[in-house]
Amino acid sequence: MFARVDASTALAPNPGSPSPGPRTPGRNLHRFANPGRFLRQSGAVLPWLSLAALLFTTTGLVWGLFFAPADWQQGDAVRIIYIHVPAAWLASAGYFALAVCSAVSLIWRHPLADLAAAEIGPVGAGFTALCLATGSLWGRPMWGAWWVWDARLTSVLVLFFLYLGHVALVRAFDDPQRGYRAGAVLALIGVVNLPIIKFSVDWWNTLHQPASILLTGAPTMYLPMLWPLFVSAIGYSLCFAAIVIARTRAAVMERRIRALLMARAEAAQ
């Protein structure tokens, strides 16, 4: 009646114990691609990660929104930077993570990378939407416009559409494998947009100002205004990671349940 199926081996690309052989990058990656191991390790990490995410985000936002100094020109309106800029960073960083998962999925065919890519999409779209919305709210009082079609704003809007396209494409096929494959190709094509977003403000005339934080010079931001931005950015990153890990865990368990139900249905026949 009850057929015991170990879904972790059913999902792994190489069922059974890996045969000893030369240590290649692919073989090392397989250790992390084992869904059973992922569930165990992420389950131990996730509560602490969530707690740290909450702590850093709250500290950064409260510090920035209530205690950091106001800008001499923008006044208190500058405080939206603590919500807007980390969201913008995570929108790009999240897309990079999506692209890495897609490359791993296409080259090494790791099932966990497929699941992670599918779960990063909606989270990244959410952070991009937050970035666009807060940017618009900031632009109206400071620039005098909710939206302009300059290179920075347009390329971030394209990033938002790439995320939405990925979310839709991955879920558009009856066979999930075909969805993952198509989504991975779309995600990798979209990577060309990342340098365009980053350098749009340097390559072209834009209304959006260039970066304040540079690798090659002092940040053009008063340091007591900068520290809460960093804390907030660390908090946003941890939030992003925690949400994606929680979603990926749910997706792994969902697949296990589906595999068990399928096995049970087959056994009943």
Summarize as ranges the residues that interact with another protein (CB under 8 A): 26, 69-74, 78, 81, 103, 106-108, 141-145, 148-151, 188-189, 191-192, 196, 203-207, 209-212, 217-226
**CB distance 201 to 208 below 8 Å:** yes
Q: Whole-number minimum distance, CB 179 to another protein, in Å?
A: 19
Which is closer to another protein, CB of 58 or CB of 220? Answer: 220
CA dist list (Å): 87 to 16, 217, 238: 42, 23, 12
Q: Whole-number minimum distance, CB 111 to another protein, in Å?
A: 15
Q: Whole-number minimum distance, CB 135 to another protein, in Å?
A: 12
**CB distance 101 to 238 below 8 Å:** no
Which is closer to another protein, CB of 49 or CB of 112? Answer: 112
Q: Whole-number minimum distance, CB 186 to another protein, in Å?
A: 12
Which is closer to another protein, CB of 81 or CB of 239? Answer: 81
**CB distance 207 to 102 below 8 Å:** no
Q: Which residues of 30-61 are buried (b: 16+ CB within 10 A; e: fewer)?
A: beebbbeebbeebeeeeeebbebbeebbeebb
Which is closer to another protein, CB of 205 or CB of 269? Answer: 205
C-alpha 166/C-alpha 183 separation (Å) is 5
